[in-house]
Amino acid sequence: MNFNKIVEMNDISFKYDRETVVENIDLTIEQGQFLGLVGPNGSGKSTLIKLMLGIVKPDKGDVKIFGKPIKQFNQWEEIGFVSQKANSFNSGFPATVLEVVKTGLVSRIGAFKFFNRKHKEKALEALRTVEMEEYANTNIGELSGGQQQRVFIARALVSDPSLLILDEPTVGVDAKHVTAFYDLLGKLNQDKGISLLMVTHDIGTITEHATHVVCMNKTIHFHGASEEYKEFDDEDLNRLYGHSVQQLTHNHDHEEIRP
Amino acid sequence: MIESFIQYDFLQNAAITGILIGLVAPLLGVFIVVRRLSLIADALSHITLTGIAASLLLEKRVTGINELNPIYMGMVFSVGGAILIEKLRKLYKHYEELAIPIILSGGIGVGVILISLADGFNTDLFSYLFGSVTAVSRSSMWTVLGITIAVLTIVILFYKELFVLSFDEEHASITGVNGRWIHLLFIVMVALVIASSMQVVGILLVSALMTLPVAAALRIASSFKQTIGLSIAFGEFSVIFGLISSYQLSVPPGGTIVVIAILVLIMSIIYKKVRSQLYIKGETV
């Protein structure tokens, strides 16, 4: 789909019960960007994604996807989503990798139509992209966490989305696979032209790979190019979003740090 | 055996009904088990009993109603129970399983009162509880055939939606699948299949036909389609040999069908154990 601005969020606020989780957020995702969304635990990152996907409705502000108000938007196959919870599925579920990946095509196929050979080919192609093709007929529960993560990315890729949203995808993936994982994302962004939005704790690593960074803690504290962000010193960061995140920047070699 | 089959209509009714439910009960059972809703089948079968009791009472107390086939009232109650469970699950969002004991005990409680009022504690009731090879009427058989066709059509038409909902509800909602409607349609199908199966396997054992073949298939299958295929194969095997031995031994078919299904389950557990042992040995050699 050709539209320069994939997501536009204008002045979004949201409360859970009485607690404000997201406040006055303006965020635009443009075609071709690899955007890293960072912030400490409980900073509203996952909620922002839910607002973007229409899973929860904002108390204030509006969301547009490909220029359309979210209520009218129905081409969900344009957006691939890999949830934080993707890995916590019932691992005893009797499904093969191929069967799981094909579910990514459900909205593209539409109601009252069936899976066919073409869809199988499409799913295998997505598995090839994430280098998991040889596991197509393996039971999903038999794979390692990192391999499952790749399968869920294939499921998100299979409908040829313009934007891929990943919510903390490296949690639970061991450190040596994280590098390979970022290489895969780079390949998707540069070779396939897929825009990416990745939610993460790991500021150090994301600034190495993403083109743009957004730092949030209820509100947006920084939004700009990764290069610009890297020039900040600790004092700037302190001002930006408090000490809890600064700690992260010092420890970015660690796989997972909870401030 | 074959002679009596040709000679007696009731045996044909029981056999054909048995084969039909041997197909649809495990088919829906696969979706029930993977969604961890196994106990819903139990709750619905118990509320079906209430429907049967109500039907017996109506037949007895209201003049002008005679020869009421209890299967229809059973279905009405079962579907009503299914919708009620969904309502309760929404009411108790954080205790979703609470809906099951509420409906289960409510069904039995009201059922016992109605049965007692209808003076229904007799052999008829026994056949509803544990199944019977003689009690299936021709009209019930046609009803079950209709339900089988409906269930097959719906599962085929909504296979991919049912699968996404079973595997990952959150992902289903993002892909635009209307989970609420499909779930409701599904649970109504379950209710109808339970009421249909009751005559052959009995209320107390209906849920076994939905879960035991699936439990056995889960040990062996690696794909979802394989799980469905094996579950149906195990279900049919249990029903067919269960009915034959029930007739030969003059015991209720509910008992024989469940015992055979349990044997199949044990075999599948052993098969899996042996196979993985051999696999480990094969790897080390």
Cα four-point dihedral sign A25, A31, A37, A42: positive
pLDDT in tens, A49-98: 999 988 889 999 999 999 999 988 888 888 999 887 666 778 889 999 99
Distance CA A229, CA A178 (A): 22
Q: Residue B134 is which amino acid?
A: T
Percent share of chain B, pLDDT over 90: 63
pLDDT tens-place string over residues A219-253: 888 888 888 887 776 676 666 655 544 444 444 44
Instruction: Report, as an integer, the average pLDDT of B198-220.
Output: 93
Distance CA A186, CA A165 (A): 14
Please check the confidence at residue B232 and state whether its pLDDT lies above 80.
yes
Comparing CB atoms, the residue among A76, A99, A103 nearest residue B223 is: A99
* Option in B175, B217, B223 nearest A106 (CB): B175
pTM of the model: 0.86
- Give per-residue pLDDT as tens, B58-98: 888 887 776 778 889 999 999 999 999 989 988 988 888 89
The pLDDT, as a whole number, for residue A122 is 94
pLDDT surpasses 60 at B209:
yes
Q: Where are the beta strands (DSSP E) in A41-174?
A: 60-65, 68-69, 79-82, 163-167
Domains of chain B, residue spans: 2-284
The pLDDT tens digits for B252-281 are 999 999 999 999 999 999 999 998 888 777
Q: What is the pLDDT of residue A202?
A: 79
Closest CA to A59 of A29, A83, A25, A84: A25
ipTM score for this prediction: 0.86
Closest chain B C-alpha to A8 CA, distance in angstroms:
18
- Which residue in this structure is represented by tokens 């007929």? A137
Least Cα separation, residue A139 to chain B (angstroms): 5
- The answer to whether A135 touches A147, Cβ cutoff 8 Å, is yes
pLDDT in tens, B101-113: 999 999 999 999 9
Task: Give the residue numbers in A contacting B (CB under 8 Å), as ranges.
Answer: 53, 55, 74, 76-77, 79, 81, 83, 85-86, 89-90, 92-96, 99-100, 102-104, 106-107, 109, 111-112, 114-115, 137-139, 155
The more confidently predicted of residues B235 and A108 is: B235
Task: Quote the CA–CA distance of B242 and B205 in Å, as a whole number.
Answer: 13
Tell me what pLDDT residue B282 has.
65
Give the model's pLDDT for residue A198: 94
| A192-223 pLDDT, tens digit each | 899 999 998 878 888 888 999 998 988 888 88
Q: Would you list the domain boundaries of chain A? A: 90-161
pLDDT at B149 over 80: yes
- The CATH class of B2-284 is mainly alpha
What does the pLDDT read at residue A3?
64
φ and ψ at residue B262, rounded to 5 degrees:
-65, -40
How many whole angstroms separate alpha carbon A113 and alpha carbon A111?
6
